[in-house]
Amino acid sequence: MTQLRVNQSVIEIVQGDITQQDTEAIGNAANSRLAGGGGVDGAIHRAGGPSIMDELRAKYKGCPTGSAVITGGGNLKAKYVIHAVGPIYSRSSKDAKLLSSAYRTSLELCTQHKISSIAFPSISTGVYGYPVEEASRIALDTVKEYLKGHPEIKLVRFVLFDNKTFKVYEDALKEMELIS
Ligand code: AR6
């Protein structure tokens, strides 16, 4: 585990399974139809049970790329799931803005719902093909900037599934520590 303190808040990175996290909310890497899928999205719906999809269908008609919506956590330990839609990597300059916006909108939902701890997966770096080196810096920078102005969020944990992705996030966090 590696941590970076931002004022009174903490950014933490761990290797593990996001469905097992005990943070108040967990983030999901969803698609804009909110239709469920493979990867972390499939794992969250399997572990959380059908109430999550029922709520998505009842409340939302999809979600634009770069934004996020919130549901309850069903059978998960987390009380909420924040379904964020990252970009499909396209090598365009819009990719970074959309990825950053997916994380920022998720954090804004935390503020609105008085959620003080959230665990995120590495959005867009699976089937959506975003290179992890670049995506990890965007993710960590976006969270750090948000936490600077939002002390109500105490903990943001990145939960990386595989060791390679974990190491890349670890390096990015260390790099950030050196320049902060
Ligand atoms: N816990 C934490 N991270 C996980 C888990 C888990 N249980 N399972 C996978 N990952 P991806 P994307 C990691 O493909 O690129 C879905 O079909 C995985 O190793 O899940 O944003 C959606 O419905 C990778 O590092 O998300 C969308 O259609 C990271 O989570 C599409 O995939 C993200 O990989 C979204 O693609």
Q: Could you tell me if 125 and 165 are in contact, meaning their C-beta atoms sit under 8 angstroms apart?
A: yes
Confidence label for 176 from pLDDT (cuts 50, 70 and 90): confident
Q: Could you tell me if 154 and 117 are in contact, meaning their C-beta atoms sit under 8 angstroms apart?
A: yes
Centroid of ligand 1 to alpha carbon of 48 (angstroms): 16
User: What does the domain layout of the chain look like in residue ranges?
Assistant: 2-179
Using the predicted structure, report yes or no on whether residue 180 has a pLDDT greater than 80.
Answer: no
Using the predicted structure, report yes or no on whether residue 10 has a pLDDT greater than 80.
Answer: yes
Q: Could you tell me if 143 and 101 are in contact, meaning their C-beta atoms sit under 8 angstroms apart?
A: no
Segment 99-104 shows an average pLDDT of 98
What superfamily does domain 2-179 belong to in CATH?
Leucine Aminopeptidase, subunit E, domain 1 (3.40.220.10)
Query: Does 87 contact ligand 1 (Cβ within 6 A)?
Result: no
Centroid of ligand 1 to alpha carbon of 39 (angstroms): 4
Dump pLDDT digits (tens) for 137-156.
999 999 999 999 999 999 99
Query: Does 123 contact ligand 1 (Cβ within 6 A)?
Result: yes
Q: Could you tell me if 46 and 81 are in contact, meaning their C-beta atoms sit under 8 angstroms apart?
A: no
Phi, psi of 60 (to 5 degrees): -130, 145
Residues above pLDDT 70, as percent of the chain: 98
